[in-house]
Chain A
Amino acid sequence: MSTNVDDHDHDHARTFVPDEEDSLGQYAIVEMAVRELLIEKGVFSADEFRQGLEVFDKAGPHLGARAVARAWTDPAYKESLLSDGSAAVKEFGVDMNLTELYVVENTPRVHNVIVCTLCSCYPKPLLGAPPDWYKSRNYRSRMVREPRAVLAEFGTTLPDGVEVRVHDSTATMRYMVLPMRPEGTADLTREQLEALVNRDAMIGVTVVPAP
């Protein structure tokens, strides 16, 4: 390798990296154009658009964890969460909007896991934005086809005799898994239980580990 400064043969025009990507995808351009038109026509204001985004930003797994910890410690709440999920999470200020929350309970016999094979339906008002892998073609095509193999890749191996039940979120329902309460947590407060619950367990790709 030469250290001669004159031996300078790489092409700056090709190695230059612009500060911003200048190739917006088609959908991004359409979204911007439609959004600007709707604001211009007064269908909604720019401020209302920002507020809409903030609703999603404020949601996150902490809200789902509150519902789970309460269900673990309050049998009446658990019953309402399983029978009418949308109403049960409204107590925490969560509005499922045009969708409905459907909560499925893990038991020693049934392990539930959520996927949306058609797109990427996810209970955003409750759990926030979905993880990138949830939206990937890999997850969406394989979780419904070979769920036990995908669960194993998440480190989840189920005991013999447990039925794996995949929920394909195809229409109006949005799903959350109510995980099993781990052993050794009888003395924990509701707040301590909340801290144990993680996003992936509410999607069903993992279980809540014992503390």
Chain B
Amino acid sequence: MTARFAVGDRVRVDDRTPPGHIRTPWYIRGKSGVVADMVGAFADPEDSARGGDGLPERPLYRVRFRQTVAWPDYAGDGRDTVDIEIFEHWLEPESG
């Protein structure tokens, strides 16, 4: 498995809205963050939920977002962050 992104890369979450079992939360679609960790490759839960085998396994990242990016009206400290696990097929380079 070749990981497309490295820790520190800026990435943007796709904002598509496919039907089915999706592990990418709505609130973060279309938002940009930084790859905080690459935790391995795992079966794709979207395919597993359709009765598939989930293969090929897909790289899974922990992406860190500023809360002020996740929620433009965020009321807390501007340094606050949210880390979310996101599969590679939901990520694009931020500039891409």
Q: Which residues of A contact B (CB under 8 A)?
A: 100, 102, 117-118, 144-149, 162-173
**Residue pair B25, A171 in contact (C-beta under 8 Å):** no
Residue in A149, A164, A171 whose beta carbon sits within 8 Å of that of B85 in the complex: A171
Known: A171-B23, A171-B45, A173-B62. A148 touches B82 (CB 8 A): no
B69 within 8 A of A: no
Known: A118-B23, A169-B85, A170-B24. A147 touches B62 (CB 8 A): no
Known: A100-B40, A172-B60. A165 touches B23 (CB 8 A): no
Q: Kindly state the separation between the CA atoms of A169 and B62 in the bound complex, as whole angstroms.
A: 10
**Residue pair A172, B42 in contact (C-beta under 8 Å):** yes
**Residue pair B77, A170 in contact (C-beta under 8 Å):** no
Contact partners of A148 in chain B: CB under 8 A: 75-77, 80
Known: A100-B40, A118-B25, A172-B60. A165 touches B85 (CB 8 A): no
Q: Kindly state the separation between the CA atoms of A190 and B67 in the bound complex, as whole angstroms.
A: 37
CB distance from B76 to the nearest CB of A (A): 4
Contact with A along B54-80 (1 / 0, CB 8 A): 000000101010010011000111011
**Residue pair A144, B82 in contact (C-beta under 8 Å):** yes
B47 within 8 A of A: no
The interface centre, meaning the residue of A102, A117, A149, A170 with most chain B CB atoms within 10 A of its CB, is A170
**Residue pair A166, B71 in contact (C-beta under 8 Å):** no
Q: Kindly state the separation between the CA atoms of A144 and B67 in the bound complex, as whole angstroms.
A: 9
Known: A163-B80, A163-B81, A170-B86. 6 other contacts (CB 8 A): A100-B39, A144-B70, A165-B82, A171-B42, A172-B60, A173-B39
**Residue pair A165, B81 in contact (C-beta under 8 Å):** yes
Contact partners of B77 in chain A: CB under 8 A: 148, 162-164
Contact partners of A165 in chain B: CB under 8 A: 64, 80-83
Contact partners of A164 in chain B: CB under 8 A: 67, 76-77, 80-81
Q: List 6 A-B contacts (CB under 8 A).
A: A118-B23, A148-B76, A163-B77, A165-B64, A170-B24, A171-B45
Q: Kindly state the separation between the CA atoms of A146 and B76 in the bound complex, as whole angstroms.
A: 7
Residue of B nearest to A119 (CB): B23
Q: Kindly state the separation between the CA atoms of A172 and B76 in the bound complex, as whole angstroms.
A: 28
CB distance from B9 to the nearest CB of A (A): 19
Q: Kindly state the separation between the CA atoms of A170 and B60 in the bound complex, as whole angstroms.
A: 11
Q: Kindly state the separation between the CA atoms of A146 and B87 in the bound complex, as whole angstroms.
A: 25
Task: Give residues of chain B (1-45) contacting chain A, Cβ–Cβ below 8 Å.
Answer: 23-25, 27, 39-40, 42, 45
**Residue pair A166, B76 in contact (C-beta under 8 Å):** no
